Structure 1
Amino acid sequence: MIVKNTMKMILLICFTFLSFFRVSHAMDLDTTSKTSICDATALIQDGMLDYYEGTRYGGTVGMFQSPYYWWHAGEAFGGMLENWFLCENDTYQELLYDALLAQTGSNYDYIPANQTMVEGNDDQGIWGITVMGAVERNFTDPGDDKPGWLAMVQAVFNTMYSRWDSEHCGGGLRWQIFTWNSGYNYKNTVSNACLFQIAARLGRYTGNTTYLEVAEQVFDWLVDVGYVVLNDTANVFDGAEIDTNCTDITKIEWTYNHGIVLGGLAYMYNATNGTGEWETSLTKILNGAKSYFFKDSIMYESACQDYGTCNTDQRTFKSIFSRMLGLTSVLAPFTSDTIDDLIKTSAEAAAKSCDGGTDGHTCGLNWQKETNDGYYGLGEQMSALEVIQNLLIHDRPAPYKESNGGTSKGDANAGMNSSTTNVLQNNLNIKKGDRAGAAIITAIILSVLIGGAVWMLF
């Protein structure tokens, strides 16, 4: 018995030592080597897919396991799609294709049946941004008489913009689409920033200037209402209730709000050939991002990270922030000297955090620690993936346009006759641009709202 116990103790000590030895080494990353970067991000993506339902028996294609929401899936696939393009790695091409198509919904507007009662404008907007990435990266368009990715983004734009609410706070989108959801009276920055960016990207891609006019309208509203403050180190606040006419602003700042606004400004700058007003606003927002979200040149979520209070949502925010920094560096080259250094130092730090878990390459939340800080999950994997792969952002072509190689099929009328609940109505006359058709957003369709009310009663 003594011999057996002694052997068990020796084996336990050896196992503990070997486990420590394995996980105490950071992910090997050479920031100058595409092979090294893509090998590292391949490991990180494997870790992301530990949380994916779509390949499990009985799982939902395009969804990640609880506690991750539908919008987290859209955010995650946006990063994986960029990896497909930047690393030219088609390992997950079929998985991405199936996921993006499975969640588009029967009306191809990214309000699928499994989200009909709970989806917010920000949720639809995040998926719209991801699918716009599929457009700009020439990801294989759906076949079998299905709309192209471009048409789906146009459906997202049309349905979102039809909800523009001029009766409260002078404009803007509400957080929620459906009246019965908590937050319906809150107008948040992220929903409007998504609409701003989608409009800017559609305008740049198609050459249709009316999309750019809508983008300008949304951005002007964000500034006028005080959600975006264009001082030298500009603020991007979270939002406000319509009950106070959007005057009692929640002045918390998050990386994803800054990032989506920053990306929209970069697209507007690029689409307007460097118009001065967009350069000025972009410079200020970038200065703010650098000031608020980098410590010793390493990215962090300043509102919660140091306090250990980041929730599941907030632990994903650095992912889309990193993607937007990379796109901005390409679309507005005058920003690259600032952004590229921040991406490099953050990528190096993120890689050092990827030394946790039983696999030895699970990523953490706090990149300043230079090792895994005990946090792990989909958000930590997503964030490390995006900041590391953006080391390659200048090695591949800039986002395509229809005029220089973009191939996705569009439909300016997409989403017009959707049964999606449009609680509000906005009529938009889209003029014919150089490369896009015209469209008029139609009246509200209330069938789902009525159906939802009946559902709630019974």
Structure 2
Amino acid sequence: MKSAQKILLSIIGLISISNVVQAVDLDLDSYDSIYAACQLLATGLMDYYWGQDYGGTIGMFTHPYYWWEAGGAFGSLIDYGYFFENSTYDAVIIQSMMYQKGDDSNFMPLNQTTTEGNDDQVFWGISAIQAAERNFTEAGGNYPSYLELAQATFNTMKNRWDDDNCGGGLRWQIFTWNNGYDYKNTVSNAGLFHLGARLLRYTGNDSYYLDWCERVYDWLVDVDFVDETLWYAYDGADIVNNSCTQRTSYLWTYNLALMISGCAYMYNYTGEEVWYNRTWGFLKSSSVFFDNYGVMYEATCMPVHTCQTDQRSFRAYLARFLQLTAILVPDTYDTVYAHLKTTAKAVGLSCVGGTDGHTCGMNWSYSGLNPNNYGWDGYYGLGEQMSALEVLQSLVAIDRPAPYTSRDGGSSTGDVTFGNSTTVATVKMLDLDKGDTAGASIITVIVGITIIALGYYVIV
């Protein structure tokens, strides 16, 4: 029997009898047990990576996974390497981060900028500050540091702050030609708040980051994207038709995740009671994202089976940022880990699918709903795999040092103004002059004649 199969049988407890798959719970109190399971899940995650394959793009995962989700996945792997002191994927992460950083080192690469949104950019920036906080290996040479990448991302985004519509806030999209340019959403602004809070804590630069964090948070409350009574973080609102007065009230896990962890970073740094109370407010409201079994789920789309590709990855961020919240605000630890441990048990039952036997599903409560106790619901993908990995590896976060800062061991250095001159990339939609048009016409004629001639040759 192969060693990987032995690990799978001993850790996840798969027993295959007459095509019936059963699973026992993981030993959630055993580091070795969790590590062995996470090794399998990380391997499954990287099955979707094609950056090193012929025809692939460095830093990108296979279709249909968009660029932003790749940034999120590398964040998952940074923590995987840190928690388990495993360097297996370090080279791929470094290569991908440096390849996708863009010419201005702000995660606006030319292969993405015509379609890139503010929310897309910020998830790469979050992975950069995460790398700085984990003392992840720097690329070195002439490459920017992880702190500089995070600072450039923050500066580029805050320079797009739009006071002319809805009294402030970032638009969803960066470029006018993209659908969503006239929509302001929570995730873009919560991402800016979250990234700013982490930069504040890491650098200790109150004069630069503190005001921005407070401005973004206050704006989210003012336009009612964040409700401080229910402690919900809603989706967003249209600019043109209603000036952000009629919000879209969808609730997504990653919006809440960015808000609760941003508040946790703010409290951890400032010690101010207001941020402590906000952290607890969002933590209490997070119960909406745990089903009747106490298992994390995407409440807006999973019950009605409408989760799209992006949405199937959102729980990865809730698991990661709840873990950070528990570390940064220790009073929340018991509450957070009650949720994560219940969910982890269900994940262990879910990740038994596919030809490899450790493919993870979307509905982690499927084993409870299925009378035959089959754990895998038949769904699979990058989002499912990284979400499951984040849940399981969060269980060992307490065994490693808290996120570093520049004052307690963080080695990444930067410049607060890095990338500050850039608001949008120097790209535009294809603009052909007369010479371009004429040249294109000639090429079209030549290609057309060639096709006709080839067709005639084949027929004759």
Same fold (TM over 0.5): yes
Letter in 1 for 2:148: A
Count of residues in Structure 1 that have an aligned counterpart in Structure 2: 412
Aligned mate of 2:402, from 379, 398, 410: 398
In the TM superposition, 1:430-445 aligns within 5 A as: none
- Secondary structure at 1:236 match in 2: strand
State the SS of the aligned residue for 2:111.
helix
1:44 is paired with a residue whose SS is: helix
SS of the residue corresponding to residue 214 of structure 2 reads helix
Classify the secondary structure of the residue corresponding to 1:250: strand
Q: What displacement does 1:415 show? A: 1.0
Which residue pairs with 1:214 in the alignment? 212
In the alignment, the residues of structure 1 paired with residue 97 and residue 363 of structure 2 have an alpha-carbon distance, to the nearest angstrom, of 30
In the TM superposition, what is the alpha-carbon distance from 1:454 to its structure 2 partner?
Answer: 2.6
* Matches of 2:341 and 2:199, distance apart in 1: 30
Native 8 Å contact 2:98 2:143 kept in 1: no
2:253 to 248, 252, 255: 255
SS of structure 1 residue aligned to 2:365 = helix
Q: Partners in 2 of 1:260 and 1:220 — Cα distance?
A: 15
| CA distance, structure 1, for counterparts of residue 90 and residue 24 of structure 2 | 25
Amino acid at match of 1:365: M
- Listed as ranges, the gaps of 5+ residues in structure 1 are 1-17, 422-446
Paired with 1:367 and 1:221, the residues of 2 have a C-alpha distance of: 36
| Structure 2 residues without counterparts, runs of 5 or longer | 1-14, 368-374, 438-460
Q: Partner residue of 2:378?
A: 374
SS at match of 2:275: helix
Could you tell me whether the CA contact under 8 Å between 1:26 and 1:361 is conserved in 2?
no
Alignment of 1:29-428 (within 5 A): 29-209=26-206, 210-231=208-229, 233-243=230-240, 244-273=242-271, 275-370=272-367, 371-418=375-422, 420-421=424-425
What are the superposed Cα offsets for residues 339-381 of structure 1, whole Å, 9 maximum, x if unpaired?
0111111011111100111111110011111201111111110
Identical counterparts, % of pairs: 49
CA distance in 1, matches of 2:143, 2:177: 32
1: distance between equivalents of 2:54 and 2:417?
38
Matched residues in 2 for 1:338 and 1:356: separation?
30
- Aligned residue for 2:392, secondary structure, equals helix
Q: Give CA-to-partner distance per residue, 1:293-328, whole Å, 9 cap, x none.
A: 343321011111121111111110000110000000
Task: Give the direction of change, closer, same or farther, for the CA distance of 1:22–1:179 in structure 2 (3 Å limit).
Answer: same
For residues 69 and 22 of structure 2, the distance between their equivalents in structure 1, rounded to whole angstroms, comes to 29
8 A contact 2:350–2:364 mirrored in 1: yes
Give CA deviations for 1:406-426 in whole Å, capped at 9, x if unaligned.
0002022211344834xxxxx
Distance, in Å, in 2 between the alignment partners of 1:285 and 1:367 is 23
Alpha-carbon deviation of 1:22? 7.3
Structure 2: distance between partners of 1:407 and 1:263: 23
CA distance in 2 between counterparts of 1:324 and 1:37 reads 19
* C-alpha distance 311-23 of structure 1, shift in aligned 2 (>3 A): farther
Alpha-carbon distance in structure 2 between the residues aligned to 1:147 and 1:184: 30
In 1, are the aligned partners of 2:226 and 2:232 still within 8 Å (CA)? yes
CA offsets 1:119-153 (integer angstroms, 9 cap, x no match): 00000011111111101000011211221110111
What is the identity, as a one-letter code, of the residue corresponding to 1:263?
A: S
- Tell me the CA shift for residue 96 of structure 1: 1.1
Cα distance change, pair 58–226 in 1 and its aligned pair in 2 (3 A): same
Cα distance, 1:394 vs structure 2: 0.8
Cα distance in 1, alignment partners of residues 313 and 252 from structure 2: 11
1:454 & 1:145 partners in 2: Cα distance? Answer: 34
| Structure 2 counterpart of 1:9 | none
Q: Greater Rg, structure 1 or structure 2?
A: 2
* 1:442 aligned partner: none
SS in 2 for 1:394: helix
**TM-score, with structure 1 as normaliser:** 0.87
Q: Deviations over 1:253-302 (max 9, x none)?
A: 010111111111110111102x1111111111111112343433210111
Confirm or deny: 8 A CA contact 2:359 2:380 kept in the other structure. yes
Take 1:313 and 1:165, find their aligned partners in 2: how far apart are those partners?
A: 26
Q: Which amino acid aligns with 1:202?
A: L
Q: CA deviation at 1:26?
A: 3.4
Distance, in Å, in 1 between the alignment partners of 2:140 and 2:62 is 29
Classify the secondary structure of the residue corresponding to 1:115: coil
